[in-house]
């Protein structure tokens, strides 16, 4: 292999490394795999025993809906990737405080800013242990 071939191969490899890292950083931010358990008797989580309350833990909004069921979604808004998603008990939905994106409890967008669905997670209550997982 001569010098030109070597530099040509090095250039292709370097371009691949740079472009793949750019593509990774440009894709939609996600919590990835989520799996944690909350003890609802713990003072940090006891408010989840009341319908309409929520907490934010591990970048996840965990809410007890007005219907008494548990719901969980990422705090990362699908519109502009801001970590501003919270729960609105008056409307029983998620919303982004940064720009008003709205989502139902299944993560479906409810307005133009919420047109890209929100990442949601499963919940399972076993006694006082609430598991949140993807």
Q: What pLDDT shows up at residue 76?
A: 96
Q: How far is CA 49 from the centre of its chain?
A: 22
Q: What pLDDT shows up at residue 81?
A: 83
Alpha-carbon distance of 102 to 99, in angstroms, equals: 9
Q: What pLDDT shows up at residue 21?
A: 38
Whole-model pTM: value is 0.76
Alpha-carbon distance of 33 to 81, in angstroms, equals: 17
Q: What pLDDT shows up at residue 2?
A: 54
Q: What pLDDT shows up at residue 10?
A: 52
SS3 track for the chain: CCHHHHHHHHHHHHHHHHHHHHHHHHCCCCCCCCEEEEECCCCCCHHHHCCCCEEEECCEEEEECCCCCEEEEECECCCCCCECEEEECCCCEEEECCCCCEECCCCCECCHHHCCCCCEEEEEEECCEEEEEC
pLDDT along the chain (134 residues), means of 10: 54 44 39 91 98 97 97 93 92 95 96 93 98 97
Q: What pLDDT shows up at residue 62?
A: 98
Q: What pLDDT shows up at residue 93?
A: 97
Q: What pLDDT shows up at residue 1?
A: 59
Q: What pLDDT shows up at residue 4?
A: 57
Q: What pLDDT shows up at residue 84?
A: 93
């Amino acid at each position: 292999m001569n010098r030109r071939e070597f530099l040509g191969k090095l250039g292709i490899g370097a371009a691949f490394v740079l472009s793949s890292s750019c593509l990774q950083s440009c894709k939609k931010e996600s919590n990835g795999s989520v799996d944690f358990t909350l003890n609802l008797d713990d003072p940090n989580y006891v408010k989840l025993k009341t319908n309409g309350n929520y907490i934010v833990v591990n970048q996840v909004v965990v809410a007890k809906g007005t219907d008494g069921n548990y719901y969980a979604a990422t705090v990362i808004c699908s519109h502009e990737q801001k970590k501003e998603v919270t729960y609105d008990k008056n409307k029983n939905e998620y919303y982004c405080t940064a720009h008003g994106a709205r989502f139902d409890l299944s993560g479906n967008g409810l307005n133009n800013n919420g047109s890209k669905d929100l990442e949601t997670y499963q919940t399972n209550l076993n006694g006082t242990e609430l598991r949140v997982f993807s």
